[in-house]
Chain A
Amino acid sequence: LPSRPVDREKAEADLAQNIKKATSPEETAPKQKHVRSCIVYTWDYHMSASIWAGLKVQPILSDEVQIFKALITVHKIIRQGHPVVLKDAQRETSWIETCARSTVGDGMKGYGRLIRGYVDFILSKLSFHKQHQEFNGTFEYEEYITLKGIDDPNEGYETIGELMNLQDQIDQFQKLIFNNFRGSSNNECRIAALVPLVEESYGIYKFITSMLRAMHRTMDALAPLRTRYNSQHYALLKFYYECSNLRYLTSLISVPKLPQDPPDLTISDSPTPG
């Protein structure tokens, strides 16, 4: 039990309500207070079974907006919840896949392709975490991983490559979201999905930057990674620029500001961005 004052029975009842409200049929963002309650629940009890069960009892799959909101909610809980959520999510991939099969074509409101894109991304993220259990959901830079990279440069090299694949996938998905904005609506529900993507991409960016800097001191064969790093830097710069023009989004999070040009990775003592 956590050291903070909690009430288990009330927590379970509240959780069911929070899941229901986060995945309601209204075409809006899932309210952060409901998502936050789910995240706090996973840390209080080191569990996420009730969350998956709660998602499944909701009539989500018959409504494209509800599916999309459920995916945003799942993504946020996987990212910020207790590490046990990442493990539990590995067992829920078939439910996540069902989400992708539940809409045909574009869907009435145009969420069809977004849903399939989101499912692809979440499954890739889960498979990355399955192979690299030393990472937490938000890719927070932890020094020991850098050290691990130095001890075994090959392993570090491959890990960065895989992280970059994930970063490319975020880039594709964010472009899909921007391309599917609808002039007639305020797009709040679509923009809501950009929030965890901005945070995820920045976490990965900071991680790769730190890792490449650490490796530069130990090995010299990093030219391909450096080239790829630079092109991802410019892609992110563009992504964040476009996000910074979305007033609704900038009222929710501060979009990271990257320097115009990629940082010099050979300067080992310069600080990690952000």
Chain B
Amino acid sequence: MAARGAIRSVKNYAKGYSDVQVKVREATSNDPWGPSGSLMNEIAQMTYNQHDFVEIMEMLDKRMNDKGKNWRHVFKALTVLDYCLHTGSENVVIYAKENAYIVKTLKEFQHIDEDGKDVGANVRQKAKDITALLLDETRLKEERSKRTAMRDRMANGRYT
């Protein structure tokens, strides 16, 4: 695992990725654990900066279109996208709707790992959930305002 992380940081350096992109790569890596809430929150907050937003979406797009062997890239990119749809800037919503077919076509993502386990099912389910959310304007608005309200409450230290 440490070696994997080391290779990733060499790649980050060699390919000249920005700090923002390095964060997205970290959150959507091939490590067998999910992206941390604090990292996703950091990324979602960065989508409010137009320049960072473009870099984040570029990297997520790359990860979502990765091959079967890298199914964790795809799965985690969907996880981060889902998080950003809830708490990121409105631009994320607009971008995701415009490019909905990227997520939608992942509903048939296939990959069986070396142990014969159907790991593609995770991706398919996530893709279904996000597609349904993008189609349901009312629910998306509700969930976004719920998250904002929750964050405000936490920030003010008032719990109801």
A interface residue numbers (CB < 8 A to B): 2-5, 31-33, 36, 39-40, 43, 80, 82, 195, 251-254
Contact = CB atoms under 8 A, between A and B. Distances in A.
Nearest to B57: A4
Given A3-B95, A5-B58, A5-B61, A36 B105 contact: yes
Contact of A36 (B58, B95, B99, B108): B108
B118 A251 contact: yes
Interface of B: 57-58, 61-62, 65, 67-68, 95, 98-99, 101-102, 104-106, 108-110, 112, 118, 124
B58 to A, nearest CB: 5
Contacts of A36: 105-106, 108-109
Contact of B101 (A5, A39, A251): A39
A69 B4 CA distance: 39
A22 to B, nearest CB: 13
A3 B102 contact: no
Given A33-B68, A251-B112, A251-B118, A4 B102 contact: yes
Contacts of B112: 251
Contact of B109 (A32, A43, A195): A32
Given A4-B95, A5-B61, 13 more contacts: A3-B99, A31-B110, A32-B109, A33-B67, A33-B110, A40-B102, A43-B99, A43-B101, A80-B101, A195-B108, A251-B112, A252-B108, A252-B110
Contacts of B95: 3-4
Contacts of A33: 67-68, 110
Contacts of B61: 4-5
B31 to A, nearest CB: 23
Nearest to B62: A5
22 contacts: A2-B98, A2-B99, A3-B95, A3-B99, A4-B61, A4-B95, A5-B58, A5-B61, A31-B110, A32-B108, A32-B109, A32-B110, A33-B68, A36-B106, A39-B101, A80-B101, A80-B104, A80-B105, A251-B110, A251-B118, A253-B108, A254-B124
Contacts of A195: 108
Contacts of B118: 251
A139 B78 CA distance: 25
Judged by DSSP, the binding face of A is: loop
B23 to A, nearest CB: 18
Q: Can you list the 8 inter-chain pairs with the closest CB atoms, starting with the nearest?
A: A43-B101, A36-B105, A4-B61, A32-B110, A4-B99, A5-B58, A251-B118, A39-B105
A3 B108 contact: no
A194 to B, nearest CB: 13
Nearest to A252: B110
Contacts of B58: 5
B74 to A, nearest CB: 11
A82 B101 CA distance: 9
Contacts of B62: 5
A3 B98 contact: yes
Contacts of B65: 40
Contacts of B98: 2-3
A210 to B, nearest CB: 15
Contacts of B108: 32, 36, 195, 252-253
Contacts of B110: 31-33, 251-252
A5 B67 CA distance: 17
Nearest to B108: A32
Contacts of A80: 101, 104-105
A251 B61 CA distance: 26
Nearest to B106: A36
B70 to A, nearest CB: 11
A39 B67 CA distance: 16
A34 to B, nearest CB: 11
Nearest to A82: B101
Contacts of A251: 110, 112, 118
